[in-house]
Structure 1
C-alpha cells in the first residue's frame, strides 16, 4: 500500500555549453521527481523533465495527482491503470490548464512513471522484463485510448500486440547484444567548430555509428558549414541527424533543408513549431527524400495521431517524461506500429527509463531496434546509470526503471 508521497524539485547546472540548442541557450537540466513510498519499504521514482524555470510548477501539480494514490496498492492501481490515467488527465479543473499538455501533463508523467517504477520493484524485476511478460490484455488495461477510437480501439490494440508474439524469442537476442545508441552530444549549439570536430572523432572511436548536430543558426551558412564538418569527420558510413529545435518558420525550413541535402542527413528533427502538423506535411513533401523526425515537444497521443495520419513524420521521438508517462508512451508506440513508423525516443530522462521502453517496443511490439539517443551529462546523478559500451546500451538488470537519483 502506498503510504507517503514526496515531490522533489531537482536541478542540475550543466558544464560548459552542454545542452544548448537554437532555442534553449542556457538550459538547467531539471526533474520534477515523484517518490511513492509503500508499506513494504519500496519507493517508486518518477521523473518529468524541464529546463529549470517553472520546474516548481510541475512539482506542485504532481503533488495534486500523487496525493490521490495514498492508501492504494500498486498492483490494484496498475491492474486497470488506463482508467485511473483517464480520470486524472481529465480532472475538470486541471484539464482546463492543458488539456493533456504543459505543466499538468508533465506532472502526470512524473506520477505515472513513479507508478511503473514501483510496480516493477514490487515484482522484483527491471521494468522492461515486467512489460514484456504482461499479456496483450494486461498491457492494454494500462492504457488510455480515448480520442483514438478512429484509429485504435482496445480490441485492435490487443490484436496488434498478439500478432507480434510469434517472433518474440528471436527478438529477445537483443537483451544479450545490447541496444544501439546514437551520440546526441557531439554538436551542441554553442560548441565551437573545433569542439564539434573533436567530439565526432571521439564518438566514432567509442563505437557510435550515428550522431546528431544542433542547427538553427541565425546565419544558415554556419549550419551548413558545421554539418559538412560532421559529415567529413565522421565519414559517409555514419548516420548524421540534424536538429533545429523548432527554430525555423516553414519557408526557412524548406530553403535550409534543401541546402542541407548535400550532407545526406538521416533526418531533420523539429524543423518548425511542433503544433503545426500541416506545416510539417508541406515540408516533408517539399524536401523529400530527406525525412523528418519529431516528438520531443509533442505533448500527447492525439497530436501524434495527427502526425501519423498526415504522413509528415518518418521517425517518432515520443518521450515518456514529456507525454503522460510510460502509459501514453506505449499508446503512441502502438499507433506507430500500426503505421509502420519507427519509434526513436527523445531522452529527457537521459535514457534511464527509455532503455527499458525501447526493449519493450522491440521485443513485445516488434518495432525495429534502430537506436536510442544517448546524452551523458547527468549519468553521475543516477543510482544505476545507463551503461554504454561500443555504442550499445547494456541491458539493465536492477528492479525498477533505473530512475532513482542520488541524494543532492
Structure 2
C-alpha cells in the first residue's frame, strides 16, 4: 500500500534544564532544543525528524525546514527512499540556500531533520524499528540511500559495497548485541557547572546504576580546577572505570597540549573536542603530541567532507558523528562507512539523547562490523519522548517500537510552524 506525504509541519521545541545540567565550558546556559520536522501523510502514519540546538536560533532551523520541505509534498515514501541519496544531493545543493552553507549551519541542520523524518516515516510504513529496517536492506538498497558526492576519492560506491558485503556472511555472530543490549556511558555525572560534591554523588549513583564509563566536562580558564576534578573523578570511580574528558572546543591548540600532558597520569580514555572543530591539522598535531591519550571529535563537524579530511589526516581516534547534526541518518551511514574503511570506531554524540542513535549503533556493529564500544547516555529529556530509550544496568535495551524513537509528546500550539 502506498503512503504519500501530504503536509509538512516544523515545530520549535525547547526544554529548559535543571541547575547546571547540560553546561560545558562553552555552552554555559544550554536550553536543549529540537527543530522538529513532521511529515503528515494520506494514511495514519506520521514521520518525525529531529535536529538539535541549544536554544537561540532554533526558529531559524524551523524556517529552513519550511523552505526545503516543500520538495517532499506529493512524494510516496517508498519511491522517495528507493533513490534517497540522489534526492538528498539535490535538496542539499539548492541553488540559493547552498550559498548560506554549503552543507553546514542552519541549512544542514534542517536537512538533517527532514532526512530523519523520512527514515522514521519509512520505518513506520514497514511497521518495524529503524534498526531492523536498516538491517533488512540489501547492500544495493543501502547504497541508494547515500550521497557519495565529494567523498568518492576516499570511498567509492564499490568500496562501500565491499564493506557491506564482506560483513554479511558473519553478521549473525554480531546479532547477539540485540539481546545482550548496547553498553552506555554516562555524560551527566560531570557537567561543567556541577559542584565537586555533586560530581562525586553522581559518580556513585552512576556506578550503582551499572555504568562503568563516564565523562567529565573540562575547559576552565583555571587549569588547576580541571586537573583537580579530573583526578577526583578517577579516584572516586576507581582505576577500572573508563573516564573521558570533554573540552567542548574551549582550548587553543597549545593550551590543549599542555593540559593533556598534565592530565595523562589520571589515564583519560580520550580528550573530546580539544580545540576548534574546523582545525583538522590542529587535531592531527594534538593527536601526535599527547599519544597514547586518544582524541575524540565530530560533535560539531557538520558534513561528510570534513569527516573525510579528519580521517585522511589521522586526526581522530574516535568518530563522534551525530545524526541530528550532519545531514541526517543517511549521511551518518556514509560517514560510518568511511570510518570503517579507516578502522576508526564510531561513538556518536547524542544530540537526540540517544533516541535515534540506539538504532544506528546496532546497524553499524551488525552490518559494518564496527566495534560495539558504548553509546553516550544523557537522561535529561527522557520524559518528553513518547518512547524514551530504556537503560538497564548501564545498557541500552534494544527498542521494539516501530520507527526511529524520535516522536516527542504533544507540544503547545504556539510552538508549531506550518510549512505546507
* Shared fold, TM over 0.5: yes
* Equivalent-residue separation in structure 1 for 2:40 and 2:171 (angstroms): 34
Q: Which residue of 2 aligns with 1:81?
A: 84
| Uncovered stretches (5+) of structure 1, i.e. residues with no partner | none
Q: Secondary structure at the match of 2:226?
A: helix
Matched, 1:100 2:94: no
* Equivalent-residue separation in structure 2 for 1:166 and 1:208 (angstroms): 33
- Specify which of 31, 35, 50 is matched with residue 34 of structure 2: 31
* Equivalent-residue separation in structure 2 for 1:403 and 1:106 (angstroms): 16
Q: Which residue of 1 aligns with 2:162?
A: 159
Q: Which residue of 2 aligns with 1:90?
A: 93
Q: Which residue of 2 aligns with 1:6?
A: 9
Q: Which residue of 1 aligns with 2:249?
A: 246
Q: Which residue of 2 aligns with 1:391?
A: 394
Matched, 1:177 2:186: no
Matched, 1:57 2:71: no
Structure 1 residue 152 displacement after superposition: 0.8
- Specify which of 137, 162, 180 is matched with residue 134 of structure 1: 137
In the TM superposition, what are the counterparts of 1:4-403 in structure 2 within 5 Å? 4-403=7-406
Q: Secondary structure at the match of 2:398?
A: coil
Q: Which residue of 1 aligns with 2:418?
A: none
- Moved runs in structure 1, 4+ residues, more than 4 A? none
**TM-score under structure 2 normalisation?**
0.97
Q: Secondary structure at the match of 2:21?
A: coil
CA RMSD of aligned residues (A): 0.5
Q: Secondary structure at the match of 1:364?
A: helix
Greater alpha carbon shift after TM alignment, 325-334 vs 148-157: 148-157
* Equivalent-residue separation in structure 2 for 1:154 and 1:39 (angstroms): 34
Name the count of aligned residue pairs.
408
Q: Secondary structure at the match of 2:169?
A: helix
Q: Deviation digits for residues 211-260 of structure 1, max 9, x if unmatched?
A: 00000001000000000111001111110000000000011011001111
* Equivalent-residue separation in structure 2 for 1:291 and 1:246 (angstroms): 16
Q: Which residue of 1 aligns with 2:415?
A: none
* Equivalent-residue separation in structure 1 for 2:185 and 2:95 (angstroms): 41
Q: Secondary structure at the match of 1:367?
A: coil
* Equivalent-residue separation in structure 1 for 2:318 and 2:236 (angstroms): 25
Structure 1 residue 322 displacement after superposition: 0.2
